[in-house]
Amino acid sequence: MTATLEQRLDAFRRLDDAKLTFARRDWFPGTSGNLSIKIQNEPLQFAVTASGKDKTKLSPEDYLVVDRDSRPVDATSLKPSAETLIHAVVYQKFPQAGACFHVHTVWNNLISELYFGQRAFSIQGQELIKGLGIWEENARITVPIVENFADIPTLAAAIEKVITPEIPGVLIRNHGIYAWGGNDFEAKRHLEAFEFLFEYHARWLQLRQAVVSTTTN
Ligand SMILES: CSCCC(=O)C(=O)COP(=O)(O)O
Ligand SMILES: [Zn+2]
């Protein structure tokens, strides 16, 4: 069975909302980033941003529907995001995932580089961890970080290996983050929580260094 027109239009409308919200935060510099919303599991079909578009704008040619192999379901001149395979990996590994969002920000790039040596970024005791759906006392989270392989099948395979149901996101070194959730509302909440935690941590390191410098000089 293939997605109905109504399902497609609903997914496209939701993608418009997410895209404009993230664009207002400058989360799509230089046409970077890609977004998807799942339409159905069996067979897998999801709406995804077309490749290379200016994601701060809306146009009638922003999205297309693809299958599990990242192939367009309909005849179209649009090219799916170059990173569509990563969305497909997320949906295939986690059939409960309903949306997957990817953005490049300075904060997620800094954290991905700073902690690449450990292949993970950990943080504990931050209220925004609850934004990831983790409510335990003094929770600690660990976000995996993978190398930024230029070959997308290699990158997707590396991501497939490290992602877990506990943490709805993965960092790619000096590239960006993929975050997902049961639907677009949840994926957005997760992405925002991750970005807050990355920015908080990077700023905290800077501030601590500044305080140490002034008290030792
Ligand atoms: C100009 S950013 C390089 C490609 C990238 O990382 C990205 O997120 C956007 O690629 P797409 O094909 O989805 O436009
Ligand atoms: Zn990217």
What is the rounded CA–CA span in Å between residue 90 and residue 136? 25
Torsion 93-189-151-122 (CA) sign: negative
DSSP track, 58-81: --TTSEEEEETTS-BSS--SPPB-
What is the rounded CA–CA span in Å between residue 55 and residue 83? 15
Number of domains into which the chain is organized: 1
Q: What is the ipTM of this complex?
A: 0.99
- pLDDT at residue 1 tops 90: no
Kindly compute the dihedral angle of the four CA atoms of residues 59, 40, 94, 135, in this order, to the nearest 10 degrees: 80
Q: Which residues line ligand 1 (CB under 6 A)?
A: 30-34, 49, 51-52, 81-83, 102
- pLDDT at residue 2 tops 90: no
What CATH number should be reported for the domain holding residue 46?
3.40.225.10
Q: Name the band, by pLDDT with cuts 50, 70 and 90, for residue 215.
A: confident
| Predicted pLDDT at 87 | 98
Residue at token pair 């099948």: 153
The boundaries of the domain holding residue 167 are: 5-216
Which residue's CA is minimally distant from atom 13 of ligand 1?
81
Structure confidence by residue, pLDDT tens digits, 60-82: 999 999 999 999 999 999 999 99
> What would the mean pLDDT of 93-101 be, rounded to a whole number?
98
Query: How far from each other are the two terminal CA atoms of the chain, in whole angstroms?
Result: 69
- pLDDT at residue 216 tops 90: no
Q: Name the band, by pLDDT with cuts 50, 70 and 90, for residue 46.
A: very high
